[in-house]
Structure 1
Amino acid sequence: MAEVVFVHGMGPIDQSADELLADWRTALAATLRREGEPALAERLEGGATDLAMAYYRHLFRPHDPADQWDVRLSGDQARTATDIGVGLLGGIEEHATRDRDRAEAARELAAFRADLGPAQGPPELLRLAVGGLARCGAVARAGFAAAKTVLLRNLSQVAAYLDDEDVRERAVAAVLDHVDADTRAVYAHSLGSVVAYEALHRLEHPLPLLVTFGSPLGLRTIVRERLRPQPPRVPPTVKRWVNLADRDDFVVALLHLDKVFGDATGVLEPTVKVANRGLDAHAAVKYLGQAPAAAPLAEVLRTG
């Protein structure tokens, strides 16, 4: 088993576990070195600290769209994906740093609701939601992430996880396959924070550290209401939970996760707000390049 387990989020299904692991290890080691922890950085890069990527992206292959018109979801899954897209628009409207971005999201939400009607089936509504997201500056600045096909893929992956029991169980198992009593930390990005949350509720031994970043865990109408178990609460074996969020990360539905999970113990700390450099505020390696992402790991590795 691994001392540090990474849990990836949405993304291309042809990106392998080894590629993701190498990218995350390099980014985190560089941050540790920059923050005055060269010995710990060397441990990560040299293999003295055992790392693993919990990989489940291949499970989404049946739902992977060929283009922006190719909705490979059941009616229920398409409705779930649509609701997620609308929720992400609401997050942009609520907390984007630019007034223009918030106004764009509000305008797209109003246009989406105006287009609702009995003639619109689930695939058409999903395409409307994807189009609204793609026209928002907070999404468009993410470059490749703004392509409608990519947005459709990302929403489809979240919907498939929530609505397909086989996908859900196998993704959770991918995390638990790497976590045991020797694991010191779990780092989970984007959809991976949802998978990790559900997996860690099944642990029977303590986990010193959970770090989530770019998380949709606070999405009001879908993710928050469909997390398992209910009501949402901190996994009981997790000893410290650090959450990082960039206000311009369009996947971040809510900045203050501690308000969602009602944790009176202080395990879930107030969200650390960061400003990721470059255009794509959601990229995992951007978050791992932030000092608050590396500092908790340095603490648990030193004490371990």
Structure 2
Amino acid sequence: MTTIVGVHGIAQQYRSEVALARVWRDELHGGLQLALREGRDTSTALDPAFALAFYGNVFRRTVKSTTSAELLDAADLTEPEQDFLLQLWAETAAVDPAVPPPAPSYKTMGLARTAAAQRALLALSRSRFFGPRAGARLPSVLRQVSRYFDDLDIRLSAREAVEREVTEDTRVLVGHSLGSAVAYEALCANPQWNISTFITLGSPLGIPHVIFHRLWPEPGSQGLGQRPGSIRSWVNIADRRDPVALVKKLDGLFAGPPVHDVLVDNGPTEHDVKPYLSAVETGRAVLSALGDSEVGER
């Protein structure tokens, strides 16, 4: 009887599934409450059945397999990973005055590209979002994105985590960060699902080459991504300063009906899932999908 399924984002391998699900459920409940109050409806019971598709464990290394590969720097990154890092630098510098902007020629090749990536890590260590540990943490985070797209076992295991939670009663699928790519691919692989609304939060789906062109299924001959599953509505919510949602507008990138792009203000934690879930804009999207009467019945 699961009505809403959430798919978490990157770097959650050391979190408890139970604790993370509790955070998602509580914050989503807050967004729903705001949406109901906005509609002056104080009588409807708010308790839609929620489940979290947890796949963080597939990225967690065992003691036996742990190597120095966990401790990466800019020189260890692949070209696509360095490209993603340089894009993050440019995007973050545009919205955070503490981050020095890259030079116009920052997209270089070879050793110069690696040097630019190293400068990016130093610059991002000054940002409010990435913080002083950017140099130690960001390369491993970028590698997790690569592992998802390059390692078939990881990719399929993440998708299976979504498939385990979706039931015949599921109407809404919510994906945050990398979880929006996992959710998208699960939807495309299961067109028989009854899910009517797809909600993406802080999504990197539109980033060319790094994400968009590596999706399953691949974009078609017209350069458009496939419309996922049987959904009737797709709401994409992004904080205007979120450096992970580099492409804030997904409308026009995917075939089918328009994607409804919505900008929000998450305060100082622009990519954190909690302010995304508790936003009234997210609550509106869920209520629109379920209808007030259906929410009250569950």
Shared fold per TM-score greater than 0.5: yes
* Whole-Å separation in 1 of the counterparts to 2:67 and 2:203: 26
Shift in Å at residue 106 of structure 1? 3.2
**Does residue 1:294 correspond to 2:283, yes or no?**
yes
Q: Supply the AA of the counterpart residue of 1:32.
A: L
Shift in Å at residue 29 of structure 1? 1.3
Contact 1:188–1:213 under 8 Å retained in 2: yes
2:211 aligned partner = 223
Contact 2:91–2:243 under 8 Å retained in 1: yes
2:59 aligned partner = 60
* Whole-Å separation in 2 of the counterparts to 1:260 and 1:65: 39
After superposition, give the CA deviation of every residue in 1:10-67 in whole Å (9 maximum; x if it has no partner): 1242111111111111112122223316666x643xxxx3211111111112399999
Secondary structure in 2 matching 1:243 = strand
Structure 2 residue runs of 5 or longer lacking an equivalent are 220-224
Secondary structure in 2 matching 1:117 = helix
Give the 3 Å change call, closer, same or farther, for CA 111–54 of structure 1 in structure 2: same
1:171 aligned partner = 158
Please, which of 237, 255, 259 is the counterpart of residue 252 of structure 2? Answer: 259
Give the 3 Å change call, closer, same or farther, for CA 69–112 of structure 1 in structure 2: farther
**Does residue 1:276 correspond to 2:277, yes or no?**
no
Compare 61-70 and 31-40 and name the one that shifted more: 61-70
Secondary structure in 2 matching 1:258 = coil
Normalization by structure 2: what TM-score? 0.81
* Whole-Å separation in 1 of the counterparts to 2:269 and 2:31: 18
* Whole-Å separation in 1 of the counterparts to 2:262 and 2:278: 14
* Whole-Å separation in 1 of the counterparts to 2:230 and 2:281: 22
Secondary structure in 1 matching 2:100 = helix
Q: Supply the AA of the counterpart residue of 1:197.
A: Y
1:104 aligned partner = 100
Q: Supply the AA of the counterpart residue of 1:289.
A: S
Shift in Å at residue 209 of structure 1? 1.1
Give the alignment's Cα RMSD to 1 decimal: 3.2
Give the 3 Å change call, closer, same or farther, for CA 285–160 of structure 1 in structure 2: same
* Whole-Å separation in 1 of the counterparts to 2:129 and 2:10: 14
**Does residue 1:132 correspond to 2:124, yes or no?**
no
Give the 3 Å change call, closer, same or farther, for CA 179–131 of structure 1 in structure 2: farther
Question: Which residues of 2 match residues 1-304 of structure 1 at below 5 A?
Answer: 2-35=2-35, 36=37, 43-44=46-47, 49-62=48-61, 70-71=71-72, 78-92=78-92, 96-97=94-95, 100=97, 104-107=100-103, 110-111=105-106, 113=108, 116-117=110-111, 125=114, 129=117, 131-133=119-121, 135-136=123-124, 140-142=127-129, 144=131, 147-203=134-190, 204-231=192-219, 232-263=225-256, 265-266=257-258, 268-269=259-260, 271-277=261-267, 279-301=268-290, 302=292, 304=294
Q: Supply the AA of the counterpart residue of 2:123.
A: R
Contact 1:65–1:71 under 8 Å retained in 2: no
Of Structure 1 and Structure 2, the greater helix share is in 1
* Whole-Å separation in 1 of the counterparts to 2:241 and 2:66: 26
Normalization by structure 1: what TM-score? 0.80
Secondary structure in 2 matching 1:106 = coil
Contact 1:134–1:140 under 8 Å retained in 2: no
After superposition, give the CA deviation of every residue in 1:216-257 in whole Å (9 maximum; x if it has no partner): 101112211111102112214111110011121110120110
Shift in Å at residue 275 of structure 1? 1.2
Q: Supply the AA of the counterpart residue of 1:241.
A: W
Structure 1 residue runs of 5 or longer lacking an equivalent are none
* Whole-Å separation in 1 of the counterparts to 2:82 and 2:42: 45
Give the 3 Å change call, closer, same or farther, for CA 61–132 of structure 1 in structure 2: same
Aligned residues: 280
Give the 3 Å change call, closer, same or farther, for CA 130–221 of structure 1 in structure 2: farther
Secondary structure in 2 matching 1:53 = strand
Q: Supply the AA of the counterpart residue of 1:175.
A: V
Contact 1:68–1:149 under 8 Å retained in 2: no
Give the 3 Å change call, closer, same or farther, for CA 132–150 of structure 1 in structure 2: same
* Whole-Å separation in 2 of the counterparts to 1:144 and 1:67: 23
